[in-house]
Structure 1
């Protein structure tokens, strides 16, 4: 679990690719301070497992599913990447709930300055994911927790403050570039619950409950309204 607050920008030291499987070796400092084998580190918003490390870098496996679904396949030696360690239970929750499970990639349509900020317009590769987005809601772009400003049927905008721009790989992103996108997990769970049709495994729900899902009538029947 992550919060979308980037800790540092790392650099790709080595990429070993075999088909759609890769081992990435990434130069870093901050995320190595207390690293252990098996730890999770988000790389451009993708949750990956540390399989080796030394004083100045760590290595992670990338499986074919991750290769196909994210922009990690576009990385080259020397590429800069956003890095964040998994959150600690006692730490401050500065962003929002980020799993590091990328939903789709998006294309930057435009980038324009607005006084002290930079506004990015982005179109997701999978337009059906727009149903999880709403103005002033949360979105994760390359691992960065950001607030949605404007939402349309096909895309959205985010406004980036100077600090975020300077401390992340968004600084170098231009129209036409692709980014990893993860929608707010809360919306996904709510949708799943509202459309669930099978009922609990113990079989206690009636056939009427199973067919209707969570409705106003269902909530009233069970004492919630």
Structure 2
């Protein structure tokens, strides 16, 4: 679990590909201070496992499902990446609950200055990703915890407003219109949407809606 507060910008040093599998080696500093094998580190918002590390580099595996669902496949040596260690139970919780389980990829359609902020308009590649994006709700872009400004469902996009500090401290500063970002929607919205979908399906089948049996069958109860 993560908070969406980026700790540092790392640099991708190498990519070893084998079909839709990859090993990424990333240069970093701060996040390696207490690193251990098997640690979880979010790379552009994707929860990955440390398989090798030293004082300045760490490596992670990317499996085919992650390759297909995220923008990690688009990275090349030299690419800047947002990095965050898994949250500590005793630390401050300044962002929102982020799993590091990316829902899909979006494309930046515009980047517009507004006073001291920059407004990014993002169009998800899959329309389904807009279902749980709500104005003033939380969304994660490349691992950054952000607040949704507006949602234009007719145009298939949403906007977020970035303060100067966030822009300076994350790899979002390098993103331009046409670039991709990993999207993780708010976990609460996803679960509510899924439960309501289950209710609707069960109601259509005449089974009495959302029941304890339905919840158990779909893994929400044991």
- TM-score calculated relative to the size of structure 2: 0.89
Please report how far the alpha carbon of residue 129 of structure 1 lies from its aligned counterpart in structure 2 after TM superposition.
Answer: 1.7
Please report how far the alpha carbon of residue 211 of structure 1 lies from its aligned counterpart in structure 2 after TM superposition.
Answer: 2.9
Deviation per CA, 1:21-48, whole angstroms, max 9, x where unpaired?
A: 1000000011101111000000000000
Match of 2:169 among 167, 170, 181: 167
Range with greater deviation from structure 2 (126-135 or 31-40): 126-135
Give every structure 1 segment of 4 or more consecutive aligned residues whose post-TM-superposition deviation is greater than 4 Å.
Answer: none
CA distance in 2, matches of 1:170, 1:195: 34
Match of 1:190 among 174, 189, 192: 192
Q: Could you say which structure has the larger radius of gyration?
A: 1
- Aligned position for 1:151: 151
Deviation per CA, 1:72-114, whole angstroms, max 9, x where unpaired?
A: 0011111100000000000111100100011010000000100
CA distance in 2, matches of 1:139, 1:195: 21
SS in 2 for 1:135: coil
Deviation per CA, 1:59-80, whole angstroms, max 9, x where unpaired?
A: 0000011011111001111110
CA distance in 1, matches of 2:187, 2:112: 29
Asked if residue 100 in structure 1 is aligned to residue 100 in structure 2, the reply is yes
Are the aligned partners of 1:195 and 1:213 in contact in 2 as well (CA < 8 Å)? no
SS in 2 for 1:101: coil
Deviation per CA, 1:104-159, whole angstroms, max 9, x where unpaired?
A: 10000000100100000000011112110111000000000000001111110000
Match of 2:209 among 208, 212, 218: 212
CA distance in 1, matches of 2:44, 2:198: 32
SS in 2 for 1:164: helix
Aligned-residue CA RMSD (Å): 1.5
Are the aligned partners of 1:2 and 1:97 in contact in 2 as well (CA < 8 Å)? yes
In the alignment, structure 1 segments of 5+ residues that lack a partner are 198-206, 215-225
CA distance in 2, matches of 1:146, 1:125: 19
In the alignment, structure 2 segments of 5+ residues that lack a partner are 200-204, 212-222
CA distance in 1, matches of 2:22, 2:9: 20
CA distance in 2, matches of 1:188, 1:169: 26
Please report how far the alpha carbon of residue 194 of structure 1 lies from its aligned counterpart in structure 2 after TM superposition.
Answer: 2.7
- TM-score calculated relative to the size of structure 1: 0.88
CA distance in 2, matches of 1:32, 1:132: 34
